[in-house]
């Protein structure tokens, strides 16, 4: 996943830092924290949060003069859950890791987060939205209960009915498989050497996300928007996700945008699924092409 540029830690006088802390606390942007002298301010880039949404989160970790540096290593993680389902789990660590945090500092980080599609628009009980628990926690490698730094209940509304559709065109292999779990799709989409999608151009700035999995040892990937190359990268085995802010594009000349995913090697499908008799060459398994 492509991260936004990280910002360096900032230094403030004790009086300025206390004023920032009090303003944020009184405004409801932060909560009193379980770690003395540490507060967290978290702001989503979208005022209205929906399901099937890529949104930008900006977080500030604020330490006052009473903060005591950690004596063990932690990692910072953002987690969103709906009942027993984990919607996402993302690294939220700033450039300076928690083990090196000092008193009287502000550490900042920005990330793109993806709320998956969990609302059935045809279910009357869901049309008003669903409540999701969002937390920022400290975890350590030795296990134990995470330390909750920030927690709030988010109400996700259904994604807008006019959200742009993604149309799969030539170069795709649709594979029917038994789902690995409840709520998962009954079929998968795989690229060949080149696979094309059509994206509806809204004329506004948009976010493009491509999420999937590579089963080859290594593959070189090229992404084209219309006829222009806009990214190249190499993938090892495992999951991947790429997120790009793009546009706007004039709708008069480009009512639709043509996204092409090209790979430099393919493998037989039955190498991935030995129980399948299908030996068609496939490239990447694409779980989501998001454009909004």
Is 146 within the bounds of a domain? yes
Asked whether residue 21 falls in the same domain as residue 128, the answer is yes
For residue 92, the model assigns a pLDDT of 96
Compute φ and ψ for 53, nearest 5 degrees: -135, 130
Is 161 within the bounds of a domain? no
Strand partners, 258: 198
> Which of these three, 122, 156, 190, is where a domain ends?
156
Q: What is the DSSP string of the chain?
A: -PPPPP---EE--HHHHHHHHHHHHHHTSS---SSTTEEEEEEES-SS-BSSEEEEEEEEEEE-TT----SS--EEEEEEEETTEEEEEEE---SS-GGG--SSEEEEEEEEEEE-----TT-TTTTT-EEEEEEEEEE-TT-SPPEEEEEEEEEEBPPPTTPPPEEE-TTEEEEE---SSTT--SEEEEE-SEEEEEEE--SS-EEEEEEEEE-SS-EEEEEEETTEEEEEEEE-SEEEEEEEEE----TTT-SEEEEEEEES--EEHHHH-TT-----EE-EEEEEEEE-
Asked whether residue 150 falls in the same domain as residue 14, the answer is yes
For residues 52 and 292, give the distance between their C-alpha atoms in angstroms, rounded to a whole number: 9
Q: What is the CATH number of the domain that holds 87?
A: 2.60.40.10
For residue 240, the model assigns a pLDDT of 97
Strands 194-200 and 256-263: antiparallel
Residue located via tokens 């929906």: 50
Is 1 within the bounds of a domain? no
User: Which residues span the domain enclosing 83?
Assistant: 10-156
Q: In order along the chain (292 residues), what is the average pLDDT of each group of 10 residues?
A: 44 55 50 80 96 98 96 94 95 96 97 96 91 96 86 96 91 82 77 97 93 96 94 98 92 87 96 91 97 94
For residue 20, the model assigns a pLDDT of 53
Asked whether residue 142 falls in the same domain as residue 274, the answer is no
For residue 182, the model assigns a pLDDT of 61
Asked whether residue 196 falls in the same domain as residue 241, the answer is yes
Asked whether residue 119 falls in the same domain as residue 39, the answer is yes
For residue 179, the model assigns a pLDDT of 61
Asked whether residue 17 falls in the same domain as residue 147, the answer is yes
For residue 162, the model assigns a pLDDT of 86
Is 2 within the bounds of a domain? no
Q: Which residue, among 129, 60, 135, 130, has the nearest Cα to 101 in the 3D structure? A: 60
Asked whether residue 94 falls in the same domain as residue 218, the answer is no
User: For the chain, what is the domain count?
Assistant: 2
Asked whether residue 68 falls in the same domain as residue 176, the answer is no
Is 4 within the bounds of a domain? no
Asked whether residue 21 falls in the same domain as residue 149, the answer is yes
Asked whether residue 151 falls in the same domain as residue 73, the answer is yes
> Which of these three, 156, 180, 199, is where a domain ends?
156
Q: What is the CATH number of the domain that holds 195?
A: 2.60.120.260
Is 235 within the bounds of a domain? yes
For residue 5, the model assigns a pLDDT of 40
Asked whether residue 64 falls in the same domain as residue 43, the answer is yes
Is 117 within the bounds of a domain? yes
> Which of these three, 109, 129, 156, is where a domain ends?
156
Task: Let me know if 205 is exposed, middle or buried by CB neighbors in 10 A (0-12, 13-18, 19+).
Answer: exposed
Asked whether residue 149 falls in the same domain as residue 39, the answer is yes
Task: Let me know if 204 is exposed, middle or buried by CB neighbors in 10 A (0-12, 13-18, 19+).
Answer: exposed
């Amino acid at each position: 996943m492509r991260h936004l540029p990280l910002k360096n830690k900032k230094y403030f006088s004790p009086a300025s830092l206390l004023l920032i802390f009090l303003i944020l606390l009184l405004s409801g942007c932060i909560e009193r924290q379980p770690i003395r002298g540490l507060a967290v301010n978290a702001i989503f880039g979208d005022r209205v949060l929906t399901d099937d949404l890529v949104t930008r989160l900006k977080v500030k970790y604020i330490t006052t003069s009473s903060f005591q540096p950690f004596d063990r290593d932690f990692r910072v993680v953002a987690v969103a859950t709906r009942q027993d389902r984990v919607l996402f789990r993302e690294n939220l660590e700033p450039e300076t890791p928690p083990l090196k945090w000092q008193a009287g500092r502000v550490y900042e980080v920005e990330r793109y987060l993806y709320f998956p599609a969990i609302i059935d628009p045809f279910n009357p009980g869901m049309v008003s939205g669903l409540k999701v628990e969002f937390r920022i926690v400290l975890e350590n490698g030795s296990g134990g209960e995470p330390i909750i730094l920030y927690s709030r209940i988010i109400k996700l509304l259904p994604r807008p009915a006019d959200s742009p559709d993604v149309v799969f065109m030539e170069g795709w292999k649709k594979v029917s498989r038994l789902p690995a779990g409840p709520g998962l799709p009954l079929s998968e989409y795989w690229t060949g050497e080149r696979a094309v999608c059509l994206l509806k151009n809204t004329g506004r700035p948009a976010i493009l996300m491509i999420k999937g999995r590579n089963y080859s040892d290594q593959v070189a990937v090229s992404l084209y928007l219309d006829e222009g190359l806009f990214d190249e990268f190499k993938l090892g085995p495992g999951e991947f996700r790429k997120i790009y802010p793009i546009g706007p594009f004039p709708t008069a000349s480009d009512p639709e945008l043509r996204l092409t995913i090209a790979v430099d090697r393919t493998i037989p499908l039955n190498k991935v699924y030995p129980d399948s008799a299908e030996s068609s060459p496939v490239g990447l398994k694409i779980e989501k092409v998001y454009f909004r």
